[in-house]
Amino acid sequence: MELLILDTNLQSVDVLDTFKSLIWTDRFLECGDFEIYTAANAAILSTVLQDYYLWLDGSDHVMIVEDRKITSDEEDGAYLTITGRSLESILERRIIWAQTILDGNFQLGIQQLLNENIISPTITNRQITNFIFEESFDAAIAAMTVKAQFEVGDNLYESIQAMCAAKNVGFKVTLNAYNQFVFKLYLGQDRSYDQTTNSYVVFSPEFDNLSNSEYSETSTTLKTVSLVAGEGEGSDRTITSVTTSDGGGNGLSRREMFTDASGVSTTTDSGTLSTEDYVAQLAQKGAEDLSLNTFTTTFDGKADVDTMYKYGTDFFMGDIVQIVNEYGIESKTRVVEVIYSQSTDSTDVYPTFAKV
């Protein structure tokens, strides 16, 4: 593997292809990250600088250099550790500057948040001039709706990430040929046995393309009902509840949590919200909390992505694929993470799957 180094103007300055180890992780529902561990020398210290960018062939994403640390050892000498996150982390540099109400199309709501806080804010110093929004024409995304309220000071990245997680929609910021940061929502393709439109992608020891697999499931954090409380105190407080799609269960299968949405206000710059609209915005907060507290099933394993199915050709980030382990446990899973790893011993690319 080799990394192209870009300066703060996104101009190529060098190629880095010698290091002790590299771990580069792309993700579906949040920003990715990287770590480089290499011998420290004057050349690398002068070419991989703070706020420079790294591009890896085969990855959609570009990383930002955020941390550099030199450690010295009497026996091994000085080593440099470089870490950072992908371009999605740019959103973390902005807060939501004014109370914002979203009521309507989900994608247009995300675009509004970006327009008001990055792309064309009223305060010109807040603008990132080469940041653009690219519309998704996926019918499923186009049909999504949202009712939500954001408070002054809410972090932009955390707000958008929570909205996307609640809908299970991926988001990414990539670099185009015009050196623009391009934000886009996306959903993967279904390549499981439950459809006939796309070619199947199946990982299984039977096909010799899945090894060292680890299947895990946990209900430790599972919540099925959220009681959401908004404005007011005591008996005057506005309260609603939100459940999982199965109704939240009953008896022992019902697991409750509380969402404090006191910051969601009925009073907005455009007037006073109706009771229906206000309750819908409270419900959005509850749904976001429930999306973070699910029954989690994951398949981790070393999937061979260079022979039978090639990542980036036969399947992509966010795609739904079929996993079958040696015990016959079978599941539709989504590709939620891809790790590129290189050390002195091996070079690997392997995905992480989460049950759909």
pLDDT recorded at residue 296: 77
Pairing of the two strands 145-150 and 267-268: unpaired
Domain closes at, from 69, 86, 103: 86
What sign has the CA pseudo-torsion 56, 173, 314, 356?
A: positive
Domain around 98: 94-186
pLDDT reading at 311 higher than 70: yes
pLDDT in tens, 88-113: 999 999 999 999 999 999 999 999 99
**Taking 70 as the threshold, does the pLDDT of residue 1 lie above it?**
yes
Residues 343 and 304 reside in one and the same domain: yes
Write the pLDDT tens digit of every residue in 26-40. Answer: 999 999 999 999 999
| Pair 214, 351 in one domain | yes
Q: What is the Cα–Cα distance from 313 to 303, expressed in whole angstroms?
A: 15
> How many domains, in total, are found in the chain?
4
Strands 131-133 and 181-186: parallel
Q: Are residues 166 and 282 in the same domain?
A: no
Collapsed DSSP state (helix, strand, coil) of residue 227: strand
For residues 320 and 189, the answer to whether their CB atoms sit within 8 Å is yes
pTM of the model: 0.84
One domain for residues 65 and 159? no
Q: Which of 137, 126, 132, 135 is nearest to 178 (CA)?
A: 132
Q: Is residue 35 part of a domain?
A: yes
CA 260 to chain centre: 24
User: Does the residue 341 lie in any domain?
Assistant: yes
| CA distance linking residue 216 with residue 299, whole number of Å | 7
Of the listed ranges 133-142, 179-188, 333-342, the one predicted with least confidence: 333-342
Q: How many CA atoms lie within 13 A of 256 on its CB side?
A: 7
Instruction: Render pLDDT for 59-72 as a digit per residue (tens, 0 to 9).
Output: 999 999 999 999 98
Residues 182, 100 share a domain: yes
Longest dimension (CA), the chain: 70
Q: Are both 351 and 206 inside the same structural domain? A: yes
Residues making up the chain, counted from first to last: 356
Does residue 336 lie in a domain region?
yes
